[in-house]
Structures are given as C-alpha cells and as structure tokens.
Structure 1
Amino acid sequence: MCEVEPGAAVALPGGIGISRLSVYDVEAPDGLVGGTPHVHLACSEGYYVIAGSGAVQTLSPKGFTETPLHAGTVVWFDPGTIHRLVNGGGLEILTLMSNSGLPEAGDAVMTMPSEQLIDRETYLKATAIAGEGEARTRSAMARRDLALQGFAVLRKSYEAEGPSALDDFYAAAVRIVQPQLADWRQRWEQGARRLADETGAALDALEAGTAPHLRTAELHRLPAPTELGRHGMCGHLDIYEINP
C-alpha cells in the first residue's frame, strides 16, 4: 500500500479533487444562512451531501434555480455556473472538483459588485481574508455579504435582460484569472490530462494483448486532510491537497 503524502506525484482517479465542506452557519443580510456566491472558470464541481439539509442556488445562461440538498443528494454543475450554498441546518458536503490543482490555484471568482471587479488587484484586495480565529470568520462573512450584493444585481439584471446580463461579469472574471493561466495549464497537464493519456495508453496496450500497467498496480491512501477548517468561500473546508 502506498500512503500519499503532500507533494507526492500521485493523483486521485480521473484527476479530481476532494474536500469536506461544513457550510457556514452565519445568517446573511437577506435572512438566509450559507456561503459566498462564486463561479469557476475551468472546473466542474459536484456535491455529495453527507449530512444536514439546505439548497444550492445557481445562476447560469439558462437562468436561476434553487435545488434542495439533503443527505445522499448528488448534484454537479459546469464552469460558468454561479452558485451559492444555503444551509438549512448542519449541511456537510463532500465536494468533488474536476482538474485537481486548478481550484486550489484560484479557479474561482466571487460575484463582487462591479467596482471590485475593475482589475485583478482591486478584486484580490476586496476578497482577502484578514485576522485570526473569529476575526477570520468575521472577515469571511463580510466578503460573503459583499459578494451577495453583486449576486443580487446579477439576478435582477437577468430577469430584465436574460443571459446577456452575465456577459460583463464573465468578462471581468476572465480578466482577473488570466495571469494564472500558465500555472493552471501546467497543473492540468501534470494531473487530469496525464491521467487521461495514461488511460489511452492502457487501452492501446489492451488492444495489443498486453497490460504492462497492471504490473505496477498498488493501493493509495490519503492518511488525513492536509488542512482542517480552512475558511473557504462556502464554509469551513477540510482540504485533501494533492500535487500531481
């Protein structure tokens, strides 16, 4: 058995990333309890609900939806889907992300008001979390509440304009993440793409009547999260960070 330590050249099946998420239980100004609305630019995200109940609000070119969540629910959405988790009580989720490494490297932009989206420096300053302990929680909630203002504007604009209401936000999000793209490409090539290429090589070998990859098989295990209780966008995260 191979225990995967931080920094090891190993990736989870399919190059996915996982984390355990305890959704924030602090009430927002709109009376709902939960996380920060945001969008991923390159990665799909999936939820397997471990415990509790709530909902995920989503806004995409197809419109706004609110999907109930309870223990055993499995949902996922494409990059470009703005999403916000609402905690109805004790909501805990196993999150599954495509392209492990990219989300950890910043593949997310929060729905800040337009004045915080004018450039990358302004955005990063507006979304930074400061302090320690409870001060970090207050900072995370202040960031969430600011993003909720932008989310409310997007929802209202969508009602009036349809899908084009999201164009300016999408364009701003692209500008914000562009300086990271060279790093993202390298992570993708070493992770998800490498694993897909290995599957192709295995299929080629099987067609030829050989299977050299079977002779190197072993069990891998993550012994523990690499970080506990990180203040994420949606809640407190137990992180399993793997560097392929």
Structure 2
Amino acid sequence: MTRTRPGFPGGTAVSHLTVYDWPTADGLAGGAPHLHTASGEGYVVVGGQGRLQTLSATGAEEHPLSPGVVLWFTPGTVHRLVNDGGLEIVVVMQNAGLPEAGDAVFTFPPEVLADPDAYAAAAALPHTDDDDALAAAARARRDLALDGYARLREAVATDGPAALAALHERAAALVMARVPGWRDTWQRNVRTAVDATDRALDDLAGGRAPHLAAASVHVGARREATYRYGMCGRLRTWDVAAS
C-alpha cells in the first residue's frame, strides 16, 4: 500500500534565495517589489547584509537584515529586498503551492495592473535556456515593478496606507480566476495537516495515540537543477508539499 507523504510542518514551502545584486535607478541593488494575496512569508537570513523595505497598514518601513535575523510578514505587505552585499535567505512560505501558482502580484504601474493581458506579458519570463536572455527579462521585470513601487511610496507618504487600496483591488482582480485551483492545493497541503492535528488532539485528550504508530521521516528533493530567476533573486526550492 502506498503511504501518503505529509507536507512540511505547517503546510509551508522552503526555498534558498540569493538576492539580486543588480543595481537600480535609485542606487540600490535588489529584487522586484511585490505582494502576496493569500500567503504570509518568513525569512531566516543566513548570509550577507541587506534591508527589507515594506509598505503596509503601518506605512513605509525599512528593516535591517543580517545573519540570524528572523522576520515575517502577512499577505498584502508590499516588500522589496535590498542587497547591501551577499544577501542570502532561507524563505519559508505559508500555503505551499499557492505562491508558485501566482499568489504574488508585482507592483507594476497602475496602467499595467489594470490590464490583465499587459500584466501577464510583463510578469512572464521567456521560455529559453539562454541565461543572458532570462537575466535581461528578469531585470526588466524588476525595473518595471520598481517604477510602480516608487509611485506607491510617494502616495503612501502623502496619503498614508489608504493609498494602497487601489493596488489591493487590482491584485484581487488579477488572481480571482485562480482561486478555485488554489483552494484544492490549500486543502491538500494545509487543511489536511490541520485536520490531522485536530484528530490527534482529540485522541490524546482521551488517552489514545493511534497516529504515533504511523510516524515517518521524509526528505525533500530539490525542484530545480540550478537556481532559477525569481522575483527577488536566484532561488531553489525543495519539494516538500504533501503527496
């Protein structure tokens, strides 16, 4: 009989990120600003120095990053990683499978966010093995997101966090059609684990522990042979979802 493999604890996903060191128009190096519509994100900094710039309900903030720092944020937080030198992070994502399925939305300028076809074209990377072409496309995508991000920061400075409302509405419209598929993924990777804990607690409260007889150990395989171009940098993920 084939046994079901549980997902990583908490239904989370894990990746290793080396943040882009490409310079930007504002003199900083780093990744593309974006937000997640349904998933929180956590960082464990393992190397280098940098900063996380955020726009959220508390306004514009900047958070220093150095080895040993653990930081996390909730869905809707616009975030931009700044690489001050060799920044490497282990990223823990809530809702394994959702970020890979389009949970994130770039902070492209409003006219791009308002047009689903224009957004899809701007967000996509070419299907090619040409690393130079991929790098150029990822960098152009990052720079377009920074254009919209700069406008957002100015708006938040003037009008406060309410200036993010239009971005949130456009982000919801962009991902709406994908939500039914996300729910299936969430049920498999997150809800199943929560329900298993619920049953275990009921059993333990009655002095029973049938789940302990099914104890097991699992090793996640790398999904990518090499580091791919992500939103914030080059990354490799592990296959840790339930199966």
Task: Please indicate, yes or no, whether the TM-score normalized by the shorter chain is above 0.5.
Answer: yes
Contact 1:15 1:98 in 2 (8 A): yes
- Match for residue 238 of structure 1? 236
What whole-Å deviation, never above 9, does each CA across 1:85-133 have from its counterpart, x for those lacking one? 0001110000001111111111100000011111322211111112520
Shift of 1:241: 3.1
Contact 1:101 1:242 in 2 (8 A): no
Contact 1:107 1:177 in 2 (8 A): yes
Shift of 1:9: 4.1
Residues 1:143 and 2:116 are matched in the alignment: no
Residues 1:106 and 2:106 are matched in the alignment: no
Shift of 1:23: 0.3
Looking at structure 2, the residues matched to 243 and 74 of structure 1 have their Cα atoms a distance apart, in angstroms, of: 23
Instruction: Tell me the number of residue pairs that the alignment of Structure 1 and Structure 2 aligns.
Output: 238
**TM-score, normalisation: structure 2:** 0.95
Describe how 1:1-244 pairs up with structure 2 within 5 A.
Answer: 9-130=5-126, 131=128, 132-222=130-220, 224-227=221-224, 228-244=226-242
Looking at structure 1, the residues matched to 89 and 11 of structure 2 have their Cα atoms a distance apart, in angstroms, of: 19
**TM-score, normalisation: structure 1:** 0.94
CA RMSD for the aligned pairs? 1.5
Looking at structure 1, the residues matched to 143 and 85 of structure 2 have their Cα atoms a distance apart, in angstroms, of: 19
Task: Give the SS at the match of 2:31.
Answer: coil
Looking at structure 2, the residues matched to 125 and 98 of structure 1 have their Cα atoms a distance apart, in angstroms, of: 27
Shift of 1:219: 1.1
Shift of 1:233: 0.2
Contact 1:119 1:175 in 2 (8 A): no
- Aligned-residue sequence identity (percent) comes to 47
Which segment is superposed worse, 149-158 or 159-168?
Answer: 159-168
Unaligned runs of at least 5 residues, structure 1: none
Unaligned runs of at least 5 residues, structure 2: none
